[in-house]
Every structure is written in C-alpha cells, then in structure tokens.
Chains A and B, each alone.
Chain A
C-alpha cells in the first residue's frame, strides 16, 4: 500500500491544520499513529534519532512556554501540536521520494519548477556540503584555526571556515546551474517524469481528510 505524493502533501497540510481544530485526544491519537507508521517504515537508529531529536526540541519549546508564564496544560498541548506537525512532514519524507513530492508540487500545486527543483538539489548537495565543511575545517586547522575560547571568540574565529565554504558552495552552484542549462532543465523536467497513479487507498485517505477537516462544522450537527 503506497500513497500518491499528492495525497501525502494533502495529509501533511491537513495534519498541520488538524492540530489546531481537533480535540486533545484526537491529536494524541494522530501522534500515536505517526509513531507507529514511522517505526513500521524504518526501525533504524537514524529514525529513532530523528524522532528523539524532535522530542527534545518539543521539550525545549514546552519549557520556554512555561518560562514565559503559560499554564502547564497549554504548554504541553502546544508542544504536542508542534511535535505532531513536524512528525507529519517526517512521515511524508520517510514514505515518499522527494522527486515525487517535487513533481506533485509542480503538477498539482503549480509550483514553479525552479522552486520544486530546490528540494531535490538541497538533498543532493547536503552530503557534499558536509564533506566540504570537513575538508575546509581540516585545511584551516592546519593554518592555525582553533575553536578555543569563549562562545563569541569561537563564533568570530569560525568565519575563517565559513568564508571559503561559502565560496566553494557558490562555485559549485555555478557549475550546477550550467549543468542544468546544458541538460535542458525547464518546464519539461517534471512533466515528462513517469506519472504516479491514484489508487483506491488514495481516495479513501483523501475522504478521511475531508471528513476530519470539516470536524468543527459537523460537530455542531451531532447530538450532544
């Protein structure tokens, strides 16, 4: 059972809206469903680290809200909302190829191809950027760069790493732009990619999205 990228985008957007309109129990249920789904897809260290990272970040958000004087229940619900929203994106990225998401954004949401391609390009160049940062850090360390001292001193000294790193990234992006031009990047880029079909499951999921999204309207119609 595999959902279409379009369906996933709709579900993700819907979840970000649901956390504000659905009651606490429903949002908590979504969280459980998301965790089950993520662990079912990939029970790896990376996945656990990603979920753990989001959990820690949520904890920090809850603490911040408490520090600014919000009541405990409001802070906890706020944190839960944020966690569910971010996990929705994680679910989409874990289940759908980024190219399919980009294609759906261009075909269905009429996003300009240049913006859609940024998603692919970002993922493509993250490993290269990390590799470059290690090389630059090593090279500058050989020339006397040291990250000792207080936070401000470390931040300022890090400029000697950032500057060449940015220059390298700019040079690479120029080559990338030239390569894309040579290879005819444009309106056809996503149009000619193989199309993903809608299945019955997509329609069922989209129907559920409609039903849950209209909850505030039909709630009034339900007997008390």
Chain B
C-alpha cells in the first residue's frame, strides 16, 4: 500500500505557546477511512493543519521534523498547491464559504488554479451531483440550509479531485440525523472515488460503520494508531481515552476483559446483539 501521509518526528509550537505537537510519527496509507480521536486541546486540529501544510507555513510557529504528502515534503510548498492534493474542511465550514452562489463557490478553487471555465463548470456540476445538490449552481448561499451548505463546502473540496480529504469535526454542530447522513455521503465518496479520508471526530458513533483506522492523540502525542481491530483494546485501557470510544466498543472491551472471550468489532447494535445471542449471552439481548 502506498503511504499518502507520512509525518516523521514532528514537533510544533505556535508563537507564544508551549509544545502543541510532540514526537508525532504517523503513516496513513492510501484508501482507509481514518478517524483521529482525543480529548479537547490534545492537538487534533493542529495535526490536521500540519497534514495540510497550514502549520507551520501559514500560521507561523516553530517546528522540527517533516510532513510528507503523497511522497513530497510540505516544506516550501504553497498551501493552495497542497490543497489540490489534500483538501481540508474546517470545523467552522460556514466561514470557509467565500462566494455568493453555490456554483461560484465550487468553481472558486478551480478558476484560481487556472482551470478553463468550461472544465470548471463541468467539475462543478459533477461535484454538486456527488454531494446531492444537483442543479443548485445558481442558488444563493442563504437559500441553502446549514446541512446543504456543509455539503457545498465538501463539493468545493471534491471538485479539485484531491487524493486526501481532511475534515475537522464535521458534525459537531449537527443533529444525529444530519450527522449520520453526512457520514453516509462521505462513505459513498470514499467507496466511489477511493479518496483517503482523515476525520477528527468526538462522536465516533456516527462514523462507526465506516471507520477503518484510528489515531488517538493525547497531550500532543500519538497515544495509539493503526487499524481499529489492533488499537481499540489499547485505547480502552487508557482511562482518559476510553470515554472517546463508541459505547458498543467499550462494552465489547469490557466483556472481553470479564469473560476472556473475543468478540468481533461491532459496527452496529444489531451486529452486537446477534453475536452475543450466538455466544449464549441470554435470549433477552436485543439491539
């Protein structure tokens, strides 16, 4: 598997702050749906910014180590050029929208990077279709709902065909239905386009059916990383990180510890109920 993001011995501090990231070593391979978890203030957003070159080349600050995206170091690269390969959606996606209409918003990056207007138009049309907003090119931003505006922000990332998409807490301000629907959409894009997703998420329940890899960040350091199957038990052992795991996985780890049995990594309550019933944990177990 090709490594798309490689962070080696990376340290970073903002101007007038302590170390925010310490000894970060990450390898993200092509394809997986990676979720970054960690307590508030652990450095998750800064890590996302490091992957996209914003830290330290836009925001300033002191750093050591190296970040490579698709085999090339981010050092000396313009953040806008990097953004063509690795798209970033910030937590405050509303303020990320810069144009007046949906079509202009999606075409903004393309036109700035010198794409001919015809190609920009075609890519805009397709990106809007991909996020479930077909034919909304002429819609004013205030004609779109909050959820639709978030999809629009995603469409403007998709239009440049990045190989990696980084999202910082995309559902933090959404209701459960909105959150589920956004992750369904992200999974569809992940499957159809093969885009590598890196998502910072506090509420892992939403992303439970799709997440393949986990990176746990604590106090600016990587506490665990790897496939979910490999790291869930380690994360569960950490008292500070445990509450960040979805409840289903906490139950699974707790049961494994108490019974000595091994359970599959449940992706839904139905799956858990089925396995528990099959292993004789009582007929009363229901999803």
Q: Which residues of A contact B (CB under 8 A)?
A: 97-99, 120-121, 123-124, 127-128, 171-173, 175-176, 178-186, 188-189, 192-194
Contacts and interface: CB of A to CB of B under 8 A. Distances in A.
Contact of A184 (B88, B113, B141): B113
B34 interface: no
Contacts of A176: 95-96, 98
A189 B116 CA distance: 12
A97 B99 CA distance: 12
18 contacts: A120-B100, A121-B98, A124-B99, A124-B100, A127-B142, A175-B92, A175-B95, A175-B96, A178-B58, A179-B95, A179-B98, A182-B79, A183-B108, A183-B112, A184-B113, A186-B112, A188-B111, A188-B112
Contacts of A171: 92, 95
A138 to B, nearest CB: 17
A173 B114 CA distance: 25
A194 B103 CA distance: 13
Contacts of B112: 183-186, 188-189, 192
A19 B64 CA distance: 64
Given A99-B104, A178-B58, A183 B98 contact: yes
Contact of B117 (A99, A128, A194): A194
Q: Name the 10 nearest CB pairs between A and B, nearest first.
A: A184-B112, A184-B80, A175-B95, A192-B111, A179-B96, A183-B109, A172-B95, A182-B83, A194-B117, A188-B112
Contacts of A189: 108, 111-112
B229 interface: no
B276 interface: no
Interface string B114-153: 1111001000000000000000000001100000000000
Contacts, number: 86
A193 B124 CA distance: 14
A123 B111 contact: no
B273 interface: no
A182 B83 CA distance: 6
A121 B108 CA distance: 13
A183 B54 contact: no
Contact of B92 (A123, A172, A180): A172
Interface residues of B, number: 32
A172 B94 CA distance: 9
Contacts of B104: 99
B113 A182 contact: no
Contacts of A188: 111-114
B52 interface: yes
Contacts of B208: none
Contact of B88 (A99, A120, A172, A182): A182
A132 to B, nearest CB: 10
B107 to A, nearest CB: 9
B241 interface: no
Contacts of A127: 142
A171 B117 CA distance: 32
A121 B100 CA distance: 8
B204 interface: no
B95 A98 contact: no
A176 B94 CA distance: 9
Contacts of A192: 111-112, 114-117, 120
Contacts of B83: 182-184
Contacts of B109: 183-184
B80 A98 contact: no
Nearest to A124: B100
A97 B141 CA distance: 15
A181 B80 contact: yes
Interface string B50-84: 00101000100000000000000000001111010
A121 B98 CA distance: 7
A185 B95 CA distance: 15
Contacts of B52: 182
A158 B88 CA distance: 37
B80 A128 contact: no
A178 B57 CA distance: 12
Contacts of B90: 175, 178-179
B97 interface: yes
A183 B104 CA distance: 12
Contacts of B100: 97-99, 120, 123-124
Contacts of B117: 192-194
Given A172-B92, A183-B98, A178 B54 contact: yes
- Residue of B88, B95, B108, B112 most packed against chain A (CB within 10 A): B95
A127 B143 CA distance: 11
A20 B190 CA distance: 63
